[in-house]
Amino acid sequence: MAQSAWYAVGIKEVRAVESAVLERYGQRLSDLALTSAGFRMGRFMAAEGIRDGQELAQRILAGERPVYDGLLASIFPPTTELFRDPSFWSELRDGVLPSLVGIFGQSLRVWVASFDSGEELYSLCVVLDDAGLLPFAEIYASYISEQVRYRSAQGLLPGRRYGLDCENFGRYNPQGELGRYFDDAGAQLRLKPEFLKRVQYLAQGVEFTPVPGGGVHLALCRNQLIFFNNTLGERNVGVLAEALHGGGALALGVCENLENYQNGSTFTPQNSREGIYRRLRN
């Protein structure tokens, strides 16, 4: 099967897979954006040698967890870059974090709500360290795929993207050299373990659930809403809003905004260019 043929020929098969996932694991993939999810399902099937959607659905119903986990990892694509959109991370360090400390103090609770493959989390940890806040932070990182969680917890980055990562890191205008944070691990880079000590991983479904223990002061969900339909997007933005303390910050990224999800009564823009919003106080 051609990698690009899935969506063009298989809407019924997409629905069969969605039904199997809902029945076996309780995840409602039908609330994802159909074009993106269908294409990525097809690419996963081609890579795994799965003949068609019926076979994939049957293997999911049979409880083949690696197949299900691999499907989830393929539907939510990896972040791909350390310090993606470097100006955002500079703004986070120099603008957002100082204002949050001014309101809440140094002990910030942070939620990486996007299904990140590690790069977003690693970038956050570096920024918090540069700002002198990492020892006081409580960080939650959402994951939907166990494969991705394992890789993220190892602190691994593909070495083939080292040049791009270094370029982004330099544009972020860091406080130290990249080697301060990462070790050479052969074909990969590895974030030094001490920078992940404040991280707790949080299993999530496509429908977000709040972090345990109360509200957070900063939530990162950059460039994630594009994978949801409007119903799911509105629901998940509501969960993010409920999770944030009044005065807390939500980062959606340069590709997205809240125009379709709230009427201005919950958030106000802090930096529209970087997709950063502040939760209004109740």
Q: Are residues 44 and 104 in the same domain?
A: no
Q: 34 with 113, same domain?
A: no
pLDDT reported for residue 252: 92
Residues 211 and 237 in one domain: yes
Whether residue 67 lies inside any domain: the answer is yes
pLDDT at 106 over 50: yes
The answer to whether residue 282 scores a pLDDT higher than 80 is: no
- Pairwise pLDDT comparison (37 vs 5), residue with the higher score: 37
User: What is the reported pLDDT for 143?
Assistant: 92
Q: What is the pTM of this model?
A: 0.88
Residue 80 lies in a domain: no
Mean pLDDT for 161-177 is 86
Q: Are residues 134 and 256 in the same domain?
A: yes
What's the pLDDT at 2?
39
pLDDT of residue 4: 40
Is residue 44 within 8 Å of residue 76, measured between CB atoms?
no
Q: 181 with 230, same domain?
A: yes
Give residue 258's pLDDT band: very low, low, confident or very high (50, 70, 90).
Answer: confident
Q: Are 19 and 53 a contacting pair, CB within 8 Å?
A: no
Q: Is residue 181 part of a domain?
A: yes
Domain end point (choices 52, 75, 98): 75
Same-domain status, 135 and 236:
yes
Cβ–Cβ < 8 Å for 174, 183: no
Residue 275 within any structural domain of the chain: yes
What per-residue confidence (pLDDT) applies to 160? 67
The residue range of the domain holding 25 is 6-75
Same domain, 151 and 175: yes
pLDDT class of 263 with cuts at 50, 70, 90: low
CB 156 within 8 A of CB 82: no
CATH classification of the domain holding 200: 3.40.50.150
Strands of 69-166 (E only): list them: 109-112, 138-143, 156-158
* 218-249 per-position pLDDT tens digit: 999 998 888 888 888 889 999 999 999 999 99
Percent of the chain with pLDDT over 70: 91
Residue 201 reports pLDDT greater than 50? yes
43 plus 156 within the same structural domain: no
| 118 and 193 both lie in a single domain | yes
**What is the C-alpha to C-alpha distance for residues 52 and 64, in angstroms, rounded to an integer?**
16
Number of separate domains in the chain: 2
Same domain, residue pair 27 and 58: yes
In a domain, 81, yes or no: no
Mean pLDDT of the chain: 87
Q: Per residue in 116-148, pLDDT tens?
A: 889 999 999 999 999 999 999 999 999 988 888
Note whether 122 and 237 are same-domain residues: yes
